[in-house]
Amino acid sequence: MRVRQDRPPVAVAFSGGKDSTAALLLLRGQGHEVSALTMRLGLPGEEEKLGRIESLARVLGAPWEVVDLRAAFREKVLDQFLHAYRSGRTPNPCVECNRCLKFGLLLAGMERRFPGGLLATGHYADKVRRGRGWFLREPRDRVKSQVYFLAAIDPAVLGRVLFPLAGMTVAEVRSQVAGLPLANARESQDVCFLQGEDLGGYLARHVPGGFHPGDLLDTGGATIGRHDGALHFTIGQRRGTGHAAGRRLYVVGRDLAGNTVTLGDEKDLYAAALAVKRPVFWRKMRPDETLRVKVRYEAAGHEAVISEASATIIRARFREPVRAVTPGQLAVFYDGDVVVAAGEIAEA
């Protein structure tokens, strides 16, 4: 396909997997001048992987460049991930990577290299223009939607971003890249820097203080047993607590400072409301407005009534109590299939 002069140049955030490869091919087919940018993050085995990505870019005939983001990845993603766990929160590093790296530093690097150009990614996401601004919207393939992980990016950047896979299903994407020597042929839902390592093992190496023996408490604060490290536990966990009570007990609280883990009944997992800090607003939120909020990636969402929305906090009350609302995770507020705000869960 010949390059059309009325189409801006596009740089694709290129991992060498099926999604970014399909995005590149689609954009080229639409007449864009397309190049590929790959982030260097400093992960083990990365140079060998970059070699495979370069080979794929050569097969595709796409100009390819590596953007060195090792220092930023360490500071903005790895260090913040560990800091959150030390503080007793359960973070989502993919959210920070999107916010700070892909749609921050990589986008800025693209603009320096290709003035007037656009950045494309292989995310399953869509965008829609409302008034003067752009909004994130759910894609055609809701099962693979990655909008949740994008909701905390700066809304101002969305006008310079393309999501070529917005109208495609996973099956259609796979068909698009069939037969190509992909650099990442296998799909993975794991956090990239774990490199297949168990999360507990990773944290034990980097946050050893979270694995000292401590007290198991009931919801009244009484000691009912011992544990071998608070970081072994997650909110909502039932198995592996090491405590037999004659009934099902769940992890309902975790205090790293005091090195305690609180067990309770399933009813103790449910929250009537939540508070969200570091909010990102895609539009103004009105008190008493009813929205749908996701408190984790796989959740379908829950109706909630906004009670407060300021530059520093969002407070909302659920229509029905919600299970395992976890501090540190992202809460995303929707109006229909469009994102209107997001932020880190501070408390439930």
C-alpha distances out from residue 55 to 9, 18, 87, 118, 188, Å? 22, 15, 42, 24, 21
Over residues 129-138, mean pLDDT: 95
The Cα angle at residue 304 between residues 301 and 307, in degrees rounded to 5: 145
Do 141 and 281 share a domain, yes or no?
no
The DSSP output letter for 192 is G
CA-wise closest residue to 250 among 263, 259, 262, 260: 263
Do 146 and 121 share a domain, yes or no?
yes
User: Average pLDDT of the chain?
Assistant: 93
Do 25 and 127 share a domain, yes or no?
yes
Whether 205 maps to a domain, the answer reads: no
Predicted local distance difference test score (pLDDT) of residue 198 = 87
For residues 247 and 171, the model is more confident at 171
Predicted local distance difference test score (pLDDT) of residue 210 = 73
| Domain end marker among 170, 185, 200 | 185
Do 168 and 260 share a domain, yes or no?
no
Find the CATH number of the domain harbouring 321.
2.40.30.10
Residue 340, pLDDT above cutoff 90: yes
Predicted local distance difference test score (pLDDT) of residue 186 = 64
| Domain end marker among 239, 264, 289 | 264
Do 36 and 179 share a domain, yes or no?
yes
Predicted local distance difference test score (pLDDT) of residue 187 = 62
Whether 192 maps to a domain, the answer reads: no
Taken in order 103, 106, 109, 114, the sign of the CA dihedral is negative
> What does pTM read for this prediction?
0.92
Domain that holds residue 41: 10-185
121-154 per-residue burial string, b: 16 or more CB within 10 A, e: under 16: bbbbbbbeeeeeebbbbbbebeebbbbbbbbbbe
Number of domains in the chain: 3
Do 60 and 159 share a domain, yes or no?
yes
Whether 197 maps to a domain, the answer reads: no
Predicted local distance difference test score (pLDDT) of residue 246 = 75
Over residues 296-311, mean pLDDT: 92
- Confidence label for 185 from pLDDT (cuts 50, 70 and 90): low
Predicted local distance difference test score (pLDDT) of residue 231 = 85
Do 31 and 83 share a domain, yes or no?
yes
- Confidence label for 234 from pLDDT (cuts 50, 70 and 90): confident
Predicted local distance difference test score (pLDDT) of residue 244 = 77
H/E element, 113: helix 107-113
- Confidence label for 4 from pLDDT (cuts 50, 70 and 90): confident
Share of the chain above pLDDT 70, in %: 97
Point out the least confidently predicted range of 102-116, 184-198, 271-285, 321-335: 184-198
Do 175 and 215 share a domain, yes or no?
no
Do 259 and 282 share a domain, yes or no?
no
Whether 201 maps to a domain, the answer reads: no
For residues 19 and 198, the model is more confident at 19
Q: Are 173 and 141 in contact (CB under 8 A)?
A: no
Find the CATH number of the domain harbouring 225.
2.30.30.280
Do 179 and 297 share a domain, yes or no?
no
192 catalytic? Reply is yes
Do 78 and 131 share a domain, yes or no?
yes
- Confidence label for 214 from pLDDT (cuts 50, 70 and 90): very high
Q: Which residue(s) pair with 17 in the sheet?
A: 184
Predicted local distance difference test score (pLDDT) of residue 5 = 66
24 vs 10: CA distance, rounded Å: 9
Query: Which entry of 191, 192, 207, 346 is annotated as an active-site residue?
Result: 192
Type of residue numbered 290: T
Do 159 and 224 share a domain, yes or no?
no
Q: Are 309 and 300 in contact (CB under 8 A)?
A: no
Find the CATH number of the domain harbouring 145.
3.40.50.620
115 vs 109: CA distance, rounded Å: 10
Predicted local distance difference test score (pLDDT) of residue 336 = 96
Over residues 278-289, mean pLDDT: 96
| Domain end marker among 221, 239, 264 | 264
Query: Which entry of 97, 235, 304, 345 is annotated as an active-site residue?
Result: 97
100 catalytic? Reply is no
Whether 121 maps to a domain, the answer reads: yes
Whether 193 maps to a domain, the answer reads: no
Summarised one tens digit per residue, pLDDT across range 138-183 is: 999 999 999 999 999 999 999 999 999 999 999 999 999 999 999 9
Whether 2 maps to a domain, the answer reads: no
Residue 40, pLDDT above cutoff 90: yes
- Confidence label for 228 from pLDDT (cuts 50, 70 and 90): confident
Whether 30 maps to a domain, the answer reads: yes
Predicted local distance difference test score (pLDDT) of residue 1 = 55
Summarised one tens digit per residue, pLDDT across range 47-98 is: 999 999 999 999 999 999 999 999 999 999 999 999 998 888 899 999 999 9
